[in-house]
Every structure is written in C-alpha cells, then in structure tokens.
Amino acid sequence: MTLCDKCRSNAIIYQRYSGMHLCQAHFDEDVHRKIRESLRQTQLFGRGERVAVGLSGGKDSATLLYVLKNMFSRRKDIDFVAVIIDEGQGVAQAKLISQMLKVPSVVRSMYGATGSNLKSDLLIKAAQENGADVLATGHNLDDEAQEAFLKLLQGDVAELIAGGPIPWIKPLRRVPEKETRLYAITHGLYHPKSECRPFADGWKLEVKRHLNGFESRHPGTKYSLLRSIERIHLLKEGAIDGAKPLSSDGK
Ligand SMILES: [Zn+2]
C-alpha cells in the first residue's frame, strides 16, 4: 500500500503534476484549497451573494454544490439556488443532490430550443430570473484547458475573455477531472456506473486526446494553459503587474 506523503496514512491518489501521494483527508484538503483560491480570485464573496449553481447530476456540478454549501455553511448572507437544465438525462440525480444538500432548485428544459450557446443562455437567464448575483458552474481543469486550447486553435481568443450579463465563476477550474470524479465518488455524490458521456464533436475529442497526451508526457500542461488564459484576463484588466501566476501544481 502506498502511503500519503503528508501523514503516512494510506494514499488514495497520486498526483503526477505535484509528485504527491495523498490520503483521503489530505486529498480533500487539496481540493478545498484549490477551490478557495479560485473563489478568492473572483473577489466576489466579501459581501452577501445569491449564487445560482448549474447542476447536471454529473460528478462536477455535484462536487461543486457540495463543497460550496459546506464552505459557506456559516455565512448567512450567502445562499444558493440550483439551476437544473433538462437535457433528457441526469435530472432525477440532480434533484436528489439538491434535496440532499437542502438547496432549492429550478428546472429549465432544453427541449424545443435551438442555438449553439443554448445551455449557457438558459443558465444565465434562470440565474437572473431567480435573483442570483453570480452564476457558478462545475467546469473542471480539463474543461477549461480544452476550451482554451480549442479557442486558441480556432483564433477565438476574444471569446475566451468575453464578459456576460452577470459574473460567471468556475470554482473547480484548478481541479483536474480525475480528481473531481474521485471526490464525488468518495463523498457518495456520484456512481461511476451512472456516468453518461456528453456528446462531443470531432474537434473537441481531438483536442481532448492531444491535451491528455501532452499532460502525460509533460505533467502540468493543463495548468499552464489555464495560467495563459488568466494572464490574458489580467492583461485585459490592466492588472498584469500585480499578478501572481499559478505554479505548475495549481498553487
Ligand atoms: Zn495524509
């Protein structure tokens, strides 16, 4: 049995990008730290907020709502509403999670609607209709790195940093997909058997495959891509001098 590098308990994961073996407690601590750092970067939670959380029934959004609810349990000025987008799958599981976490939910249907940004538009609209100040979604590091890679290849860098009608945050953006899955499974939020793979077009699959290849040969590549996008944001805001870039292990 491999041991945790921090406490010598049994390890449940090896992070190639950090070189660390971690036990359940230290893995949880690491995930929470990455989420706290992403939240701090948004500069949004110094005062009360109503947060709409996009909930799909999958591992990422379940982890997001669970961690946010626990993290802000003592903040009476922060409340949550789950926005469930009905895409024909995952709705029952999403409702179950919102009930378990005692978060009110609203459901919006994709049925009959069209458009390439449909899901984002529905999420933003539902968040606004429910009086939310901010929208949070469960995009993980892999989602963010893939999106960045794809947009750069397509010459759409402006779209990567475009703002919307309300602040949209992605608190799991520093947590690799493999780790959101492990977190969700070990906290009883998700069962691998119920995994439904979302439809992805050829381009996206190709980008995902290449990125995973880079990551296995050069651990930390996904963090580098995320860092590039964060620096473009800071350049846009004129704040680059005060910027402290991410290190290769997300710290
Ligand atoms: Zn440990």
Distance (Å) from CA 28 to ligand 1 centroid: 10
Question: Over the range 26-47, which residues count as b (16 or more CB within 10 Å of their CB) and which as e?
Answer: bbbebbeebbeebbebeebbee
Fold topology of 32-200: Rossmann fold (3.40.50)
Cβ-in-10-Å burial (0-12, 13-18, 19+) of 82 comes to buried
* Contact residues for 220 (Cβ-Cβ < 8 A; gap 6+): 17, 248, 249
Cβ proximity of 249 and 220 under 8 Å: yes
pLDDT in tens, the chain (251 residues): 899 999 999 999 999 999 999 999 999 999 999 999 999 999 898 889 999 999 998 999 999 999 999 999 999 999 999 999 888 788 999 999 999 999 999 999 887 666 667 888 899 999 999 999 999 999 999 999 999 999 888 888 888 778 888 999 999 999 999 999 999 999 999 877 766 566 667 888 899 999 999 999 999 999 999 998 888 888 887 766 544 554 555 55
Look up residue 22 and give its two tokens: 């971690």
Cβ proximity of 65 and 82 under 8 Å: yes
Question: Over the range 105-133, which residues count as b (16 or more CB within 10 Å of their CB) and which as e?
Answer: beebeeeeeeeeeebbebbbebbeeeebb
Cβ proximity of 179 and 12 under 8 Å: no
Distance (Å) from CA 18 to ligand 1 centroid: 15
Distance (Å) from CA 230 to ligand 1 centroid: 31
Distance (Å) from CA 188 to ligand 1 centroid: 20
Distance (Å) from CA 3 to ligand 1 centroid: 8
Cβ proximity of 121 and 54 under 8 Å: no
Distance (Å) from CA 97 to ligand 1 centroid: 28
Look up residue 107 and give its two tokens: 């459901």
Distance (Å) from CA 108 to ligand 1 centroid: 41
Distance (Å) from CA 25 to ligand 1 centroid: 6
Look up residue 102 and give its two tokens: 């005692």
* Ranges of H-type helices in the chain: 24-42, 59-71, 91-100, 118-129, 141-154, 157-160, 177-186, 202-217, 221-237
Strand, coil or helix: 21: strand
Distance (Å) from CA 52 to ligand 1 centroid: 33
Distance (Å) from CA 71 to ligand 1 centroid: 21
